[in-house]
Structure 1
């Protein structure tokens, strides 16, 4: 195949590149420890003023080969105080262990200095964004807002806090993107746990994989994955925050850990509570001046949202041990989450709801286990198992038609155009993820991953029934195997992998439009195979190039197969989506004494087939059905530049250009006939050019030693794009250019223990649109109080 030939040629070219070794080099090695005694992984160790540098491994060990001479050994890492030591290197030498001290003040600034775990991930073979969220602990943003400022990512919300949103990575969005927390699917904690609910304080960093996803995540992600990494340190700590802002918006979060040093028992807990009225002003919307039920006139005006209140709560706790002879990590845990949300509009803001709302809650129980060197050296095993029950209700009881001024007229149907309903959706989930990895030697390793994901689907109208008598079941079995090899002292890294996607569908024998049926069940078993490669070559310690490819599948969701019982009908004949994903890219970094640059650029191609979309079901415009409707091609380029000067000034800019095209030549899945009118047309409601810029200034020891002042400004730009198909588009169907500016100032005291910050979002009060041309908030203000104790 042509694809195989291309990648074979690329691999030959990469492996043929030879590094030059200089004679008379000697070896310098040692160990870096945190002040707690724990090995410090991912720390930059360099001979100052030279190109010789490396990162510590998971045991805190490092090794550098250099010519004999006098050097300054520099040790640095984000969040730790740097250390420098003079050495006289004349022969192979082992430096006594060096202990580095955590710098809480440094965690309160947005910075790009040093080689940290974040930089190590960015220099891996995968195309990945890595964001150090420890440095953002004082901002009020949630995780989706943070990621919306990174390269190749676009988050389009339909309103304020808690609104539905579309998360896109390199042009693919929706279910093509999977979300994880510490490698475990986020939806295990319930549908109310979404990226735009989670405060930034609960994470340590975020990894965004583009197109090609590592096997260890055990996922059927088609277009990419987001992995939220939480705090894994062993020491005791407490992190609390509270923020208040416009539209009566409140957000509080807490995370902490306590350890009994004698027994080694550890208790971890975290949680958050969010609330907002979301009563921001809708500008220039149409409202009907009601005379009576049959008479009135339409005028335009500014009106506040009135059915958009949102509340979410989450709490989780774990109890267990670390660093035992029988387990490196063992925890049992549980979580509870819940949301309540008014529904103000659908996908068209001219249709207004006054009483429609949804709510739900979920609980889960889990077990987590990790053992390194299981049975033999370098054989590591991890296991995560959980049970969760997620229940949601959509309530539509009022026979009314509302307008933006809050007034209404009686109507023969409910607000969404049906009979009054109180639909309940319950989905118990059983989940197991296990990973076995073996390091053959320093240059070769294997990894085997298995994931079981089983979901029951129960839907019914509470006004009619109290249960689903014949629920469906959907079981996914995903197996992944990867092999990693290193050449030329890890200058060249290749990762080869394969994945098997198995799905078992158990559906009611006589399935109806509501997703239920009578009698027995039909059981279908299908399997699919994916594969890929990711390669990186370090031309110099500061310059690297990378390329990756994956044949990926996204298995059907339970709601796509069975419907939701009230607005989406079942379709058990759906096929999975599949895509050929290609990435090429490179990076360059420069770490002079005062100036630090990191530049990253890349290109990508996605060829997705059998894309699953919701379409109108028969002639009923209120009911939809998921079908394999189209093929899609995405071509794009992206670039990211970061700069830091003496830990005082930091700046960055990123840019993304992409074309997302309809590649469906013949409609309805046929291979001939009339060519589709939208063939090779730009996909509607999809941004094609956007970027971000930021600038920050930090003043250390401001007013008092140990106190720091930080100022940040950022700009989010989105070029105009069509709401409908471009071939049919007119001026009023365009979503206009967006220029959204945000500013913040924060002050930290007592080495970061006490912190306060002020923020203004949409500083210029720009008329902001987003998904489906729905208006977002105008200018808003917030204040945040943050306390950290260690």
Structure 2
């Protein structure tokens, strides 16, 4: 019988029940390996959207004590061993590893310690070291391949646990994060079923698309916490990959504990856990005058349990690459007004020995300056700016007044200041001719000038209560609430328009979820059922479309329901099948419902989007005797999206608003294969076909037959694939403590139209792109120093995206990183 220890809801009572038939000697070994299951199953503390940029700084520990820490892994696969035992001095005292395979012990300073590392099914490992201040000792255990009285205990890493869950999901681990990618968008672009819609180089706006559904339909999370309003000031792509443990891409169904009303799926970035003493600094320089710097400093007072942190990063990009203007005689020019600067800094303190298991306070400040690059006109002065401040507080406790009841409360506040500055008194075309501004008051783009000094206040709360009934049944209750208040101010715009167009507004939304998890037949069957209620209200103002008057107050309050169910069944230890069905709702965002106070009007009649879809998939996963891993997965999906929300121009000049477009039908298939071909060679390949069609019978609001019914939705790629190979070897160039990786990645996107395809001779299409990236990464002194050289778009292909906007050509980047543990 196989027992897979996977969730915190498995209590010590269950552990003793499963081993009661073992003899005393084996029982003692089992308990020794698992006596700290309770600590392992305690949740990782919430880290708000940018704790990944932060790190840790603290008071020094007791001078009479030293900290011994490290990671225990499987020697063949490199997977973390959860619950492995670390024993010092023949059993005087010890500990066990957490969910990431990490352990920490406090022992007398400057002392020679004899260590014993044990794990069921693995050979014991003995070490003898002198511990001073903060000493790291990593161990790789070799499997014995033996079983105990037909009972095998298998501890799985978080990545494997997620892959074997009932929900459709792709998980990106350290191998992909530390490859040729420079940022999160690069990593996600190679993931099956995912496309990234960029408008330019670094710092340009981009949208993540999963199975064709993109933008605001996608949930963006950091450590299971929604970015929410902070997403207007920082994007996932801003997060340095050095700080990320893994990235989870959920497709169709979003985990109930995340909260919110994401529809097409979700991307959750999980940040790293650090040892008591940690410093990490990296600097990258690249083509097009690109510079990125990030640093982390952490120190933990082991005695008090307080963890202090400080850190941040800075990004600068000139983005002065050449682009071809297909709209103007196909000429080639250099982007001359696309500089991007971003700075983020903050600190946090976390207490782990108070009544709550974890209390964490974070403070973050951000500043962005983004020049606007013209395509039709040579824009030379306009830019966007933003400043924001974030405060977050998290409380977490297991066994909250009741055994098996877990409590988690997240509170957040975001204060934002932002606006566009467009006051130039001249325009220029690409021939250098001077033209008058868009208004007598100035401006280079749109139909009016702008000097925005807008403010936003956002309050976020997420409450999660989970109760484990027994090993088979558990329930979870989740509430996510958000209040957004916008206070736009642009006196120059009002002056140019001749009427007041900036007005305050606010929006509230509450999502309540109740879920039930079922595990049967020794974990071969998993089922997760969730019901949700969506409530939102808004108070905004609306301008009459026939004449410009003082905006009139408009109030809206609505409620909707949705549900989802995900099922997984293991046919054999290597083969499993999955099925998922969902009928859910996405509440309009504050921008969609109440506008932004100036260029986007309120849309009080806007309906939430509703999707109904299903996913059926199968996965094969086999680990060879040499530790090599082979994984194959296939998924088919079908989805209908009703009341799709789109951004459209309004009758009022210079204004726009969001409207319900109608219905869209999606169907497709995903294929992925990856594995270790040899102990030194790893290969992956994936492909996606996604067919999105307009299913509206009539043009909205009319009895006119829709001429695009059955046509493919424009500006969405439908055929794409990725391939990659990695060669890795220790001490390739001699020496000790070194590791070398050679990497190659290729991506293919078939041509697609950025307008409805009414004729096969239609020219409005984005051409096929095939790009290749390569890199070499070399680490020294057991990963203390890492040097990386990356080349993107090796063949210098002309690539365009997002309505034919040119993307950068071949680029080169060099990165150096230093880590002190």
1:420-447 Cα shifts (integer Å, max 9, x gaps): 2213332210111010000000110010
- The 2-side partners of 1:88 and 1:719 are apart by 50
Is the 1:459–1:515 contact (alpha carbons within 8 Å) kept by the matching residues of 2?
A: no
| 1:47–1:567 distance in 2 versus 1, CA, 3 Å | closer
Partner SS state of residue 175, structure 1: helix
Is the 2:564–2:583 contact (alpha carbons within 8 Å) kept by the matching residues of 1?
A: yes
Q: Which moved more, 1:254-263 or 1:146-155?
A: 254-263
- The 2-side partners of 1:557 and 1:410 are apart by 37
Is the 2:543–2:552 contact (alpha carbons within 8 Å) kept by the matching residues of 1?
A: no
Matches within 5 A, 1:140-159: 141-159=182-200
Matches within 5 A, 1:650-665: 650-665=682-697
- Is 2:525 the partner of 1:486? no
Partner SS state of residue 416, structure 1: coil
1:301-346 Cα shifts (integer Å, max 9, x gaps): 3210011111111123211212x2511111111111121111113x
Q: Which residue of 1 aligns with 2:343?
A: 313
- The 1-side partners of 2:212 and 2:151 are apart by 51
Q: Which residue of 2 aligns with 1:597?
A: 630
- Is 2:672 the partner of 1:640? yes
Partner SS state of residue 187, structure 2: helix
Matches within 5 A, 1:298-377: 300-322=330-352, 324=353, 326-345=355-374, 349-377=375-403
Is the 1:460–1:468 contact (alpha carbons within 8 Å) kept by the matching residues of 2?
A: no
| 1:539–1:780 distance in 2 versus 1, CA, 3 Å | same
Matches within 5 A, 1:386-535: 386-404=412-430, 408-411=434-437, 413=439, 414-463=443-492, 471-508=504-541, 511=543, 521-535=553-567
Aligned residues: 718
Matches within 5 A, 1:505-584: 505-508=538-541, 511=543, 521-584=553-616
Shift of residue 639, structure 1, vs aligned partner: 1.0
Partner SS state of residue 800, structure 2: coil
Partner SS state of residue 395, structure 2: strand
Q: Which residue of 1 aligns with 2:746?
A: 715
Shift of residue 568, structure 1, vs aligned partner: 1.9
Q: Which residue of 2 aligns with 1:21?
A: none
Shift of residue 360, structure 1, vs aligned partner: 0.4
- The 2-side partners of 1:338 and 1:526 are apart by 36
- The 1-side partners of 2:37 and 2:347 are apart by 24
Is the 1:268–1:318 contact (alpha carbons within 8 Å) kept by the matching residues of 2?
A: yes
| 1:384–1:31 distance in 2 versus 1, CA, 3 Å | farther
Shift of residue 667, structure 1, vs aligned partner: 1.3
- The 1-side partners of 2:506 and 2:183 are apart by 33
Partner SS state of residue 382, structure 1: strand
Matches within 5 A, 1:196-345: 196-233=237-274, 235-283=276-324, 285=326, 300-322=330-352, 324=353, 326-345=355-374
- The 2-side partners of 1:166 and 1:90 are apart by 51
Q: Which residue of 2 aligns with 1:739?
A: 770
Q: Which moved more, 1:239-248 or 1:519-528?
A: 519-528
- The 2-side partners of 1:386 and 1:638 are apart by 37
Matches within 5 A, 1:59-78: 73=122
| 1:342–1:75 distance in 2 versus 1, CA, 3 Å | farther
Is the 2:180–2:745 contact (alpha carbons within 8 Å) kept by the matching residues of 1?
A: no
Q: Which residue of 1 aligns with 2:727?
A: 697
Return the match for 2:619 from 583, 587, 597: 587
Q: Which residue of 2 aligns with 1:66?
A: none
- The 2-side partners of 1:36 and 1:748 are apart by 34
Q: Which residue of 2 aligns with 1:6?
A: none
Is the 2:81–2:157 contact (alpha carbons within 8 Å) kept by the matching residues of 1?
A: no
| 1:468–1:773 distance in 2 versus 1, CA, 3 Å | closer
Q: Which residue of 2 aligns with 1:103?
A: none
1:251-297 Cα shifts (integer Å, max 9, x gaps): 1112342101121110133422111010100135566xxxxxxxxxx
Is the 2:488–2:502 contact (alpha carbons within 8 Å) kept by the matching residues of 1?
A: no
Shift of residue 716, structure 1, vs aligned partner: 0.7
1:610-639 Cα shifts (integer Å, max 9, x gaps): 01101121274x432211112111101001
Partner SS state of residue 645, structure 2: strand
Shift of residue 565, structure 1, vs aligned partner: 3.5
Return the match for 2:698 from 666, 688, 705: 666
| 1:139–1:515 distance in 2 versus 1, CA, 3 Å | farther
| 1:469–1:420 distance in 2 versus 1, CA, 3 Å | closer
- The 2-side partners of 1:200 and 1:448 are apart by 32
| 1:416–1:92 distance in 2 versus 1, CA, 3 Å | closer
Shift of residue 186, structure 1, vs aligned partner: 1.9
Q: Which residue of 2 aligns with 1:759?
A: 790
Q: Which residue of 2 aligns with 1:170?
A: 211
Q: Which residue of 1 aligns with 2:140?
A: 82
| 1:591–1:408 distance in 2 versus 1, CA, 3 Å | farther
- The 1-side partners of 2:534 and 2:663 are apart by 21
Is the 1:32–1:40 contact (alpha carbons within 8 Å) kept by the matching residues of 2?
A: no
- The 2-side partners of 1:477 and 1:383 are apart by 15
| 1:440–1:537 distance in 2 versus 1, CA, 3 Å | same
Q: Which residue of 1 aligns with 2:105?
A: none
- The 2-side partners of 1:704 and 1:35 are apart by 39
- The 2-side partners of 1:757 and 1:40 are apart by 36
Q: Which residue of 1 aligns with 2:645?
A: 612
Shift of residue 675, structure 1, vs aligned partner: 1.7
| 1:397–1:75 distance in 2 versus 1, CA, 3 Å | farther
| 1:412–1:215 distance in 2 versus 1, CA, 3 Å | closer
Partner SS state of residue 569, structure 1: coil
Shift of residue 190, structure 1, vs aligned partner: 5.0
1:670-696 Cα shifts (integer Å, max 9, x gaps): 5xx332000110001110000110011
- The 2-side partners of 1:148 and 1:723 are apart by 20
Shift of residue 136, structure 1, vs aligned partner: 2.9
Matches within 5 A, 1:613-628: 613-618=646-651, 620=653, 622-628=654-660
Is the 1:746–1:756 contact (alpha carbons within 8 Å) kept by the matching residues of 2?
A: yes
Q: Which moved more, 1:277-286 or 1:210-219?
A: 277-286
| 1:32–1:633 distance in 2 versus 1, CA, 3 Å | farther
- The 2-side partners of 1:125 and 1:36 are apart by 24
Is the 2:582–2:613 contact (alpha carbons within 8 Å) kept by the matching residues of 1?
A: yes
Q: Which moved more, 1:605-614 or 1:397-406?
A: 397-406
- The 2-side partners of 1:535 and 1:75 are apart by 38
- The 1-side partners of 2:37 and 2:516 are apart by 34
Partner SS state of residue 732, structure 1: coil
- The 2-side partners of 1:745 and 1:163 are apart by 27
| 1:396–1:37 distance in 2 versus 1, CA, 3 Å | same
- The 1-side partners of 2:560 and 2:255 are apart by 18
- The 2-side partners of 1:514 and 1:538 are apart by 62
